[in-house]
Structure 1
Amino acid sequence: MLLMLAEPGLPLERATHFRRSVAGAESNVAAGLARLGHWARWIGRVGDDPAGEAVLRELRADGVDVSCAEMDPESPTGLLLRDSHPQRAIDVQYYRTGSAASLLSPAQITPEALAGVRLVHVTGITPMLSEDAERATHALIEGARQAGATVSFDPNVRRKLGTEHEWIRRVGPLLREADLVLAGEDELELLLGAGPEEGAKALLTLGRAGTVVVKHSDHSAVAHTVEGRWRQEPFDVPVTDPVGAGDAFAAGWLSARLRGLDQQRALAEAACVAALVVQAPGDTDGLPTAAGRDRALEAFTRGTDPVHR
């Protein structure tokens, strides 16, 4: 979607100046992985309009492959308006109904789009957009299986998209289809009716998951596998804009796992990337390069000089 971010500190209804950016859970993760040095492809739809051109241009600038993205000549690009307050609730307004993204269909999920892919990441937002988008999500997961790719899933519950029952019915089953799960403790409670420990254990024993990362309300994170559990506390940083932290965490964690790093290091890198993102406005402005991540993590963990001289 095109993101219009209100000037910092003002409530949305009072804002007169907006900064244009790009938002979207899966595209945020793709941009994060690309900046960290991975090849990443985004499969999605935008309108054949100035907003759609801006979205694709921004993704290309981050190094994301958009060769499988479609531009719809009849439906508009989705729009998101929001304000930004580090210490109070943020007002987010979605304009998705009838958007190009909501018309994503299984026909767009081709074997060519998944050729050579090691990891497929999807969130619960996409299947909640429409019935066609839900079918496309299932087609994507099936295509990933056929391509031999690992499936990563983040519920990313957005309650404005549907009722609790709809989230449970449409998104809950996807938790059991993923090889890697990143979920908030409140999301596991909603979708599984279980606490973080019980929910993680259920997915490890009854689903396909090999790793379940639970993000807690105190911003700590715990990785669960059948071999054990690892915990990571958040890094203490000043928060400018908390939106986008979850996608940044996912990008940091997936990058580490793709590079074969252990669970504790993966959690530390994920927390580091999230800590950098919340210090900048917008969903993606603070996403670091690999070198930037490593410098920041060194400063966070060892107290080295944070100034890169």
Structure 2
Amino acid sequence: EARNGIYFIQRNYPIPGRSSVIYYRRGSAASRISVDDVDPDYIRQAKLFHLTGITPALSESCREASLKALEIASQSGVKISIDTNIRLGLWSKEKAKKTLIPMLKKANIVLIEPQDAEILFGKREPRKIAEEILSMGAETVAVKLGAEGAAAYTRSEEAKKPAFKVPIVDVIGAGDAFAAGFISSLMRGRSLEEALEIGNAAGALVVTVKGDFENMPSEEDLEKFLAAQRKETVILR
């Protein structure tokens, strides 16, 4: 009964090597998600519930649905991961801060970029960002650093991995790919360093083509890519 959301991408202009995105989501079908669409039983059977800052930004009903889903997951012992993913084209800095900080207090794993942390906490230095979020109750914090790679922190350890050098065609989707690689690695019991490396590898492969999901790598793709980087066989399973 409602239209699909749309976004338009402008690549390499006015800044070469960067893309800008224009959203057309107000009134879309996704923006009409409400608490009535949240299935408690479906969430309770999950190993992990993942949320990005985009969903609660779409509308008030989406924000309420996100809060309900987080509450169900938290009460059911389901691990929660949140990627702040603040898009100022969707909401204001004030609204993002008011909404996301309470949500982060329920998260086990948090992924964030320095520019998001500056909005939420007034901080940009990775370790200080992590300390802030760990003090809120999170177990693991990953700070995405773009071309510099990523850093990850727990209360007892920290790690940093540089980005892989690849020909960059389109950076859109790199963050989502990193999140998938990093979080899935942690869920499989891998170390912070391994999780960062796999997340960085996933992000690297995505930026080599246009689009944000066309080159989303499989495990086999990641194995081959990492093997080529290390000059040895890598098994992810």
1:199 aligns with 2:129: yes
Separation (CA, whole Å) in 2 of partners of 1:218 and 1:287? 18
Contact 2:74 2:106 (C-alpha < 8 Å) held by counterparts: no
1:121-164 Cα distance to aligned partner (Å, 9 max, x none): 00111111111110101011011123321000011011111221
Maintained 8 Å contact 1:109/1:139:
yes
User: 1:76 deviation in Å?
Assistant: 1.0
Structure 1 position 216 matched with structure 2 position 118: no
Determine the C-alpha separation between the residues in 1 that align with 2:186 and 2:44. 20
**RMSD between aligned alpha carbons?**
1.7
Unaligned runs of 5+ in 1: 1-73
SS of the aligned residue for 1:181 comes to strand
Q: Deviations over 1:272-300 (max 9, x none)?
A: 00000000111011111111111101112
Would the aligned equivalents of 2:85 and 2:112 in 1 still touch at CA under 8 Å? Answer: yes
Shift of 1:91: 2.9
Structure 1 consecutive aligned stretches of length 4 or more whose deviation exceeds 6 Å: none
**Structure 2: which 5+ runs fail to align?**
none
When normalised by structure 1's length, the TM-score is: 0.71
Aligned length: 230
Contact 1:109 1:143 in 2 (8 A): no
Task: Please list the CA deviations of residues 69-111 of structure 1 after superposition, one character each: whole Å capped at 9, or x if unmatched.
Answer: xxxxx21111112133393332312111111111111111112
Distance in 1 between the 2:190 and 2:100 partners?
A: 29
TM-score (norm 2): 0.92
Superposed, 1:143-162 pairs within 5 Å as: 143-162=72-91
Cα 1:254–1:197, aligned 2, differ >3 Å: closer, same or farther? same
Amino acid aligned to 2:8: L
Higher relative contact order, structure no. (Cα contacts within 8 Å, ≥ 6 residues apart): 1
In the other structure, the counterpart of 1:116 is: 45
Between the aligned residues of both structures, percent identity stands at: 35
- The alpha-carbon deviation at position 194 of structure 1 amounts to 2.1
